[in-house]
Structure 1
């Protein structure tokens, strides 16, 4: 239980940092310590990981390896580029969602151009919100096609 409280605080801190350059960057040591604990538990197939399907455990370990490679040699998240910060945030969110079986609640961030500008901004939505937006856009396109055929 203590691990997941720590994990929630860690992700909240990272998310807050990722959205505002004025906030204190997160120490990579905290992220790596948390991920090592999760890694050890996944490898040992103990705790909440004992019932996790092996394919999901493999995916989780692969995501962790990518994250650790990205963070290697860094002391804070401030040393990552904006795209790497987004990727690290998305990876941490994926890991949390996999552990908690909460895929629809997982936050996904991307950098999108502001309409009429070349400026990029960070946009974060849950997987469920993304799915609803895609369905709405698809419905609007379908209605437009139906109206054009008349």
Structure 2
């Protein structure tokens, strides 16, 4: 099963053992188990991980360590602030993209201020969408500079 499918299942179908559990809450035990399985595969360079480049492998292991450190002593995303929740999501998406060699499909989220408000909203786009938007903005800037 792809990691993305697991993440979506965790996000959308949180454990139903307790009726008071928020459906958008990630349970960290499942993530820890999943990351341990990935680490084992990466370190043994077996299966789908055998073709993973050395630099991606080391970056993946570093991101896992950072993720596990952020989750240490916590049971779910309920115990994190919004910035930490976004960091957990982005790190999991990066790992998923690296494992599946699908960087352009990786979701990247950020918290952006809402114009005219002190509130922030979470905006998520794929890495490919962000790249296209950056390139288009760069081209617009370059064309304006050439018109002057």
- Hey, what's the Cα distance between the residues in 2 that align with 1:123 and 1:130? 11
The Cα of 1:32 is off from its aligned counterpart by 0.2
For normalisation by structure 2, the TM-score amounts to: 0.86
Match of 2:62 in 1: 62
Task: List per-residue Cα deviations over 1:76-125 (Å, max 9, x = no partner).
Answer: 11111110110000000000000110001110000111122222110001
- Hey, what's the Cα distance between the residues in 2 that align with 1:112 and 1:29? 30
Match of 1:104 in 2: 104
Contact 1:14-1:89 within 8 A present in 2 as well: no
Asked if 1:131 corresponds to 2:131, the answer is yes
RMSD over aligned Cα atoms: 1.7
Match of 1:77 in 2: 77
- Hey, what's the Cα distance between the residues in 2 that align with 1:116 and 1:26? 31
How many correspondences in the alignment?
Answer: 140
For normalisation by structure 1, the TM-score amounts to: 0.85
Q: Which has the higher contact order (CA 8 A, sep 6+)?
A: 1
The Cα of 1:24 is off from its aligned counterpart by 4.2
Asked if 1:12 corresponds to 2:13, the answer is no
- Hey, what's the Cα distance between the residues in 1 that align with 2:120 and 2:10? 20
> Unaligned regions of 5+ residues in structure 1, if any?
none
- Hey, what's the Cα distance between the residues in 2 that align with 1:96 and 1:24? 19
- Hey, what's the Cα distance between the residues in 2 that align with 1:85 and 1:14? 14
